[in-house]
Chain A
Amino acid sequence: MMDPSVKTRIPSDGEPSRILAYWSPDDVVAVWNNLAKGGTEIERAPQSPGAAHLRAAWLGPPSAPRLRRVAPLEQVDGYGVFTFPYGPISMGVPEAGRFDVRTYGERVLDISPEVGFKARRILSSVAGLTIEDAALRIERLAGPFSAAHVSAFLAATESAAGRGISAREAWIRALAQELQRIYNHIHVVARVAEAASQNVGLAQAHALAEDVLRLMGSTFGHRWLFGAFLPGGPPTRLGPDDRVALAGTLGRLSKEFERLWSTFQTSRTFLDRIQTTCGVSREETLRWGAVGPTLRATGVAWDDRLRSPVPPYTDLFLPLATESSGDALGRVLVRVLEVRSSFLLLEQMLERWPASGSTQLPASEAIAPGRGVARVESPSGDLVYDVSVHDGRVGRVSARTASDANWPLFALGMRDAVFTDFHFAWESFGILFAETDR
């Protein structure tokens, strides 16, 4: 069952029916089942070199070698061409992952990220655990995106059980996600500023990000929101007085962010450095199934909070941020606009906070067996969880994270760039190795 409104949004050259990222949850399940049974639904997609990538992104590689390359676009050879290995340990990308840069010096002919260095086998190890214990691991899958991952995972189990949640619970999840989105977007601005040696701006953005972390710590009892939505987690402080204080702090942070960004906008060196750097086209983001700010920076108005809305987003005003340039500046601008819209969402939430509702999950035994899919807009884009539940315990869990989807776009954008573009490009995508090595 295809959502007709989705179909019409995609231009004809993007082969709408083949681009999984834009399918409704029901369609996702249908395709997923087909693929799991060995179907070739995607492979028939053709003329699209993205098909193999999409398949791997959703299902994992067929026989799971421990280390694998994502987004292999080309095999470049020629006189003087060699591989420049970058990683798995480097301070420029402070995560365990490697890039094989094909180059003849100076210029990037092809870049292929290699993942699997930090595969912790999280999704395969949660089978058989209670939902709370599984969530404890899933929130540590990617720390900066923990709220999105746990929300999607819990929503998938709830969907499997056919169970609704209280309004208050939904609002707490949304509040946490928006706070974490603000943190991540400011962090991206800080990292790009660092690559551009904008040291004052870097320090100010870093300080602002730390402010947000401390705000999350004081509100949810954990700077990274671990355990925040789980029964028995650290105590949340969202009483009426706390909400007033929270709104006050958010207002101050919002003003400081505006000042910071307006000062960034006066720095020609900063803007010039990221403008036209690592650009990808609208056609490429559609064809390769990009999500999140990467997609929206090429002018595609897609955001799960609007396209597959769940409460409280159904009741809130959310301006959708898009840019058309598709370069690093475009992605940074989208993030800046989203910081604004998240502040706006938080303001609305705190004003219209639901009066009552339980924050307690029902005991695990109450959950009926079944299978569910849920998707949320993580800071870097669409995140999908597919969870089956048996006997109150978690069965098979699969996920397609934003990082999975955006790898090829990073590789495409880096083609023909020079080495020094690397950090601007990398930081602007907001890809985490941790999200792919799950």
Chain B
Amino acid sequence: MDAFSILLPIAVASFFVGATLSVVDRRWAYGASLVGAALLVLVAIRVIVVGSVTGGGWSGPFGEPEGLSMDPLSAFFALAAGGVWIATSTYSIYYDDRPSPLLALTYAVTLGSIALLLTASSFLLFLVGWEAMTLGSFGMILQASGRPMRVFSAAFVFLAFGEASTLFVFLAVAGLRVASGTFAMVPVALSVPLAGFVFVSGLIGFGLKMGVAPFHMSEWLPIAHSSAPSNASAVLSSTLTLAGAYGLFRLISVLPTPPVWWGGVMLSIGAISALLGALFASVSEHSKGLPAYSTIENNGLILVALGVALVARSESLDVLYVFALFAAFYQALAHAVAKTALFLSAGYVEHATHTFDLNVVRGRAKDDAREAMIGAIVAPLSLAAAPPLAGFVSEWMILEALFQSFRFSPPAMQFVGLLAGAAVALAAGLVLVAMVKYIAFSTLWRPSAVEAGDRPPGLGTVLVALAGTIAAIGIAAPWILRFLTPSVSAFAHLPVTAPVSGLLLIPQGWSIVSGSPFGILSPPAVPIGLGVGALLGLVYYGMGRNRVTRRTVPWMAGSAPGVPGETYGSFGYSTGIRVMLRSVLRTREVRARSGPVTRAELLTPVAYNVELEVLDPFKVFYDALVRFATATSAAMKQGIMPGRIGRYLAYLLVATLVVVVYIALAV
């Protein structure tokens, strides 16, 4: 037992200590979270480099050993989560200026729960962390600004999806327990039907938390609908979904060699999510709703990569299996960092302009906080897969993996691979639209008449650090992939080598190779090439003579430029997509008279109000479900239980809490 065995429980505990101290001062919670996150990162690096760490152990309620431990697989997720928590916690110290400590409290609880589930040595403790995470996040969403009913309804939707998620995860864990007689996270030999049951339950349970289709309501609604605080949004969107991904990875790593349909199902769900997320991101005007939809797209991409890996494993395509796994890991890492930066920049926009409406924000070109802008530009660029950033590398790897779906032997799988490839490519294009819109209308363009609000100091520094990280993850990809080899190895229960090689003049180890070899990319060469090109351009520019820069106003067909109300907004930017894809988006125009018809109206122009609405097809389903449930409940209430609904709700909440507390005490 070395020093790290002691650091691991300290890391997890510091979040909860911080949560308690938040009553004294909310900054304690964020400070303690910062410490916990840093310790977590430290332990994770040590685990990946040297090997697993076990810290603390006790006898659990079912006579099984429980405790905290970290193997290279959980270390990867702890590294990613801890890394972005360092950023969000530092940011929160400046961001959270509320009188109430509740946001800080729930923030620390959520982080601690995620840390707990990432370091749980058994599935039972994992479940405890999972449920605590849901409750903590529920608490965070309740701190959102906005009308109380709206906030509560959004938080309640989140809770409903969260509890459904727990239910399915519980089923998966129960299935494992039935077959193996243990909660331990070790490979289990399952019968084929039972393995299928566990896989499907796990996919639904973790998919609910990752917000993939058709459960994407759970992701965007709490963030976009209720305008959750920015630090909460960042945690919800990047690390909560990361926890879902961890659960899925962990579950699959203990299951036997999958039948081919597992991968096929995953691939399909992933591709649909990616396309749906990208599509709705491109038509979103909400400075947080747009990144939230982008999260759906990115988690879809993780599923796509994992799906390709599973099919490849079923087909014994070992090279593709390993490459797709690396792609999935890289996608998870790239998304966690970039999405955190994006939400923190959204918080910055909110602070600067007091609005979430991109159509109103219209950019902050005159803002003096240049360093904050760097983060707000680099993060969306990475999500739009612009070279040489992190998202570019992961997107390239995923597409390379999909290109190799021709290697699958069942024609149906080839077909699925082909369709998924088309969907992912289309999603990449739509995300580009979304991110260009985000960059332009949150940052680069001219502001409208929105009054600038207070700008908390320190936020810009965090964003610059994140931007640097995003660039580093992109440029140094070959080395990071090699660093992550133990984690992939721990997932696959195989010794693996990173898909890294050399090419022509590029030194050995500087390039990523898909297949054997299929495609090749050298992330470090991209900035070098760009730099050389820029240098040549500068030299040429320097050699020129008689350069006179003359500034004129924009050409607006002869009209005076800059007239309020005569410029494109972010809504107009993406209306093309709304109109072209109206059959998918269910676009409809709602026209209403602004006022009653008057006598004067017959001689003067008639005033109309026009709204162009889009509709998520799945929301129709959920709305119907809610109507059905509401109607049924009403009938039940009147017919069977003529009591007060509030009491029943309170009862349910208390019961859940009691169960959680019981398990925690029993542990």
Interface positions of A from 252 to 311, Cβ below 8 Å from B: none
Is the CB of B553 closer than 8 A to any CB of chain A? no
Q: Tell whether, in the assembled complex, residue A74 and residue B558 are in contact, meaning their CB atoms are under 8 Å apart.
A: no
Q: Which of B41-49, B210-218, B405-413, B559-567 contacts A (4 or more CB under 8 A)?
A: B559-567
B285 within 8 A of A: yes
A sample of 19 more A-B contacts (CB under 8 A), given A78-B611, A82-B567, is: A49-B603, A74-B607, A77-B607, A79-B612, A80-B572, A82-B566, A83-B566, A86-B557, A88-B557, A98-B557, A98-B559, A104-B612, A105-B568, A105-B571, A106-B575, A106-B576, A106-B578, A107-B575, A109-B610
B559 touches A105 (CB 8 A): no
Closest to B576 in A: A106
Q: Is A73 an interface residue (CB 8 A)?
A: yes
Given contacts A83-B565, A84-B566, A88-B558, contact A78 B572 (CB under 8 A): no
Judged by a CB distance under 8 angstroms, whether B574 is at the interface is yes
- B6–chain A nearest beta-carbon distance, Å: 57
In this complex, how many residues of chain B approach chain A with their Cβ under 8 Å: the count is 33
Q: Which 7 A-B pairs have the closest CB atoms?
A: A80-B571, A105-B575, A105-B572, A89-B558, A78-B610, A75-B607, A85-B559
Query: Is B603 within 8 A of A104, CB to CB?
Result: no
Query: In the complex, A409→B603 CA distance in Å?
Result: 17
Contact mask for chain B residues 539-581; partner A; CB cutoff 8 A; 1 contact, 0 none: 0000000000000000011110001011111111111101100
User: Which chain A positions have C-beta within 8 A of B566?
Assistant: 82-85
Tell me if B604 is interfacial: C-beta within 8 Å of chain A: yes
CB-CB under 8 A from A78, the residues of chain B are 608-612
Determine if A177 is an interface residue (Cβ-Cβ < 8 Å). no
Bound Cα distance from A191 to B571, whole angstroms: 32
Most B CB within 10 A of own CB, among A72, A105, A107: A105
Question: With contacts A72-B605, A105-B575 known, is A82 near B610, CB below 8 A?
Answer: no
* A51 and B572 contacting across the interface, CB-CB below 8 Å: no
Task: Assess whether B557 is in contact with A89, with CB atoms less than 8 Å apart.
Answer: yes
Q: Are B594 and A47 in contact (CB under 8 A)?
A: no
Shortest B112–chain A CB gap in Å is 41
- In the complex, how many residues of chain A place their beta carbon closer than 8 angstroms to a beta carbon of chain B? 34
Complex Cα distance A106/B606, Å? 22
**B650 / chain A contacts, CB cutoff of 8 Å:** none
Q: What is the CA–CA distance of A107 and B611 in the complex, to the nearest angstrom?
A: 12
| A360 lies within 8 A of chain B by Cβ | no
Contact residue among A48, A82, A418 (Cβ-Cβ distance under 8 Å from B565): A82
B565 neighbours in A (Cβ, 8 Å): 82-83
Q: Is A90 an interface residue (CB 8 A)?
A: yes
A52 at the A/B interface (Cβ < 8 Å)?
yes
- Closest A-chain residue to B580, C-beta based? A106
From the candidates A52, A77, A88, A106, name the one contacting B608 in the complex (CB within 8 A): A77
Q: Is B166 an interface residue (CB 8 A)?
A: no
Q: When A74-B607, A77-B607, A80-B612 are in contact, do A87 and B571 touch as well, CB less than 8 Å?
A: no
Q: Is the CB of A73 within 8 A of B606?
A: yes
Q: Give bound CA distance, A106 to B573, whole Å.
A: 9
Known: A105-B573, A106-B576, A107-B579. A52 touches B603 (CB 8 A): yes
Distance A354 CA – B367 CA, assembled complex (angstroms): 80
CA distance A89 to B558 in the complex (A): 5
> Which one of B567, B576, B602 lies within 8 Å of A47 (CB-CB)?
B602
Of all chain A residues, which has the CB nearest B612?
A: A104
Given the known inter-chain contacts A79-B571, A80-B359, A82-B566, please indicate yes or no for A49 contacting B579, CB distance below 8 A.
Answer: no
Contacting residues, chain B, for A51 (C-beta < 8 A): 602-603
A86 to B611, CA, bound (A): 23
A43 contacts across to B, CB distance below 8 A: 603
Within 8 A of A (CB), among B494-541: none
| Complex-state Cα separation, A288 to B556, whole angstroms | 32
Q: A320 to B70: give the CA distance in the assembly, Å.
A: 90
Considering only CB atoms, which chain A residue lies closest to B560 in the complex?
A: A85
Nearest B residue to A85, CB-CB = B559
Q: Please indicate the chain B residues that have their CB under 8 angstroms from the CB of A73 in the complex.
A: 605-606
In this complex, the member of B565, B578, B603 whose beta carbon has the largest number of chain A beta carbons within 10 angstroms is B603
Please state if B559 and A75 are interface contacts (CB–CB under 8 Å).
no
Chain B residues with CB under 8 A of A76: 607-610
Whether A46 contacts B602 by the Cβ 8 Å rule is yes
**Once bound together, how far apart are the Cα atoms of A74 and B575, in whole Å?**
21
Q: Does A203 contact B (CB under 8 A)?
A: no
A51 to B594, CA, bound (A): 22
A52-B604, A74-B605 given; A104·B572 CB < 8 A: yes
Expressed in whole angstroms, the minimum distance between the Cβ of A309 and any Cβ of chain B is: 36
Say yes or no: is A428 at the interface (Cβ < 8 Å to chain B). Answer: no
In the bound complex, CA of A104 to CA of B567 (Å): 11
A289→B605 CA distance, assembly (Å): 17
Residues in chain A near residue B576, CB distance under 8 A = 105-106
B464 vs chain A, min Cβ distance (A) = 33
Give the Cβ gap from B348 to chain A, nearest Cβ, in Å. 24
Nearest opposing residue in chain B for A416, CB measure: B589
A231, chain B: closest CB distance, angstroms? 40
CB distance from B415 to the nearest CB of A (A): 34
In the complex, A47 Cα to B604 Cα: how many Å? 12
Q: A342 an interface residue at 8 Å Cβ cutoff? A: no
Contact A74 B606 (CB under 8 A): yes
Q: Which residue of B lies closest to A69 (CB)?
A: B605
Kindly state the separation between the CA atoms of A409 and B347 in the bound complex, as whole angstroms.
49
Q: How does the 8 Å CB contact mask read for B582-614 relative to A, with 1 for contact and 0 for none? A: 000000000000100000001111111111100
Residues of A contacting B571 in the complex (Cβ-Cβ under 8 angstroms): 79-80, 104-105
Closest residue on chain A to residue B561 by CB atoms:
A85
Q: Which of A128-149 contact B (CB under 8 A)?
A: none
Per the bound structure, the CA–CA distance linking A81 and B612 in Å amounts to: 10
A selection of 20 A-B contacts at a CB cut-off of 8 Å is: A49-B606, A73-B605, A74-B605, A75-B608, A76-B607, A76-B608, A77-B607, A77-B610, A78-B611, A79-B612, A80-B359, A80-B572, A82-B565, A82-B568, A82-B572, A88-B558, A98-B559, A106-B579, A107-B575, A107-B579
Indicate if the CB atoms of A90 and B557 lie closer than 8 Å. Answer: yes
**Neighbouring B residues of A48 by C-beta, 8 Å:** 602
Residues of A within 8 A of B611 (CB): 78-79
Choose among B559, B568, B573, B605 the residue that contacts A88 (Cβ–Cβ < 8 A). B559
**Would B605 and A75 count as touching, CB distance under 8 A?**
yes
Q: Closest approach, in angstroms, between the C-beta of B591 and any C-beta of chain A?
A: 8
Using A51-B602, A106-B575 as known contacts, say yes or no to A82 and B608 having CB atoms under 8 A apart: no
A43 and B571 alpha carbons, distance in the complex (Å): 40
By a CB distance below 8 angstroms, the chain B residues around A104 are 571-572, 575, 610, 612
Contacts of A86 in B (CB 8 A): 557
Taken together as a complex, chains A and B put the C-alpha atoms of A84 and B569 apart, in Å, by 11
Q: How many whole Å from B566's CB to the nearest CB in chain A?
A: 5
Is A219 in the interface zone, CB < 8 Å from B? no
Minimal beta-carbon separation of B107 from chain A (angstroms):
33
B558 → A minimal CB distance (Å): 3
Q: In the assembly, what is the distance between CA of A103 and CA of B573, in Å? A: 11
Q: How far is the CA of A98 from the CA of B556 in the complex (A)?
A: 11
> B-facing mask of A39-73, CB < 8 A → 1, else 0?
00001001111011000000000000000000011
Closest residue of chain B to A90 (Cβ to Cβ) is B557
Q: Which residues of B contact A74 (CB under 8 A)?
A: 605-608
How far is A90 from B570 in the complex, measured between Cα atoms in Å?
25
Interface centre among A73, A84, A85, A98 (most CB of B within 10 A): A85
From known contacts A51-B602, A104-B571, infer whether A85 and B608 are also in contact, taking CB-CB under 8 Å: no
Q: How far is the CA of A79 from the CA of B569 in the complex (A)?
A: 10
Q: Complex Cα distance A43/B603, Å?
A: 8
Taking CB atoms, residues of chain B closer than 8 Å to A80 are 285, 359, 569-572, 575, 612
Query: How many whole Å from B86's CB to the nearest CB in chain A?
Result: 38
In angstroms, how far is the closest chain A Cβ from the Cβ of B363? 15
Which of A49, A77, A87 interacts with B557 by CB under 8 Å? A87
Which residues from A are CB-within-8-Å of B285? 80
CB 8 Å contact bits of B168-194 with A (1 = contact, 0 = none): 000000000000000000000000000
A47 nearest CB neighbor, chain B only: B602
Instruction: Give Cα distance in the complex from A81 to B566, angstroms.
Output: 10
User: How far, in whole Å, are A73 and B578 apart by their CA atoms in the complex?
Assistant: 26
Q: How far is the CA of A43 from the CA of B600 in the complex (A)?
A: 11
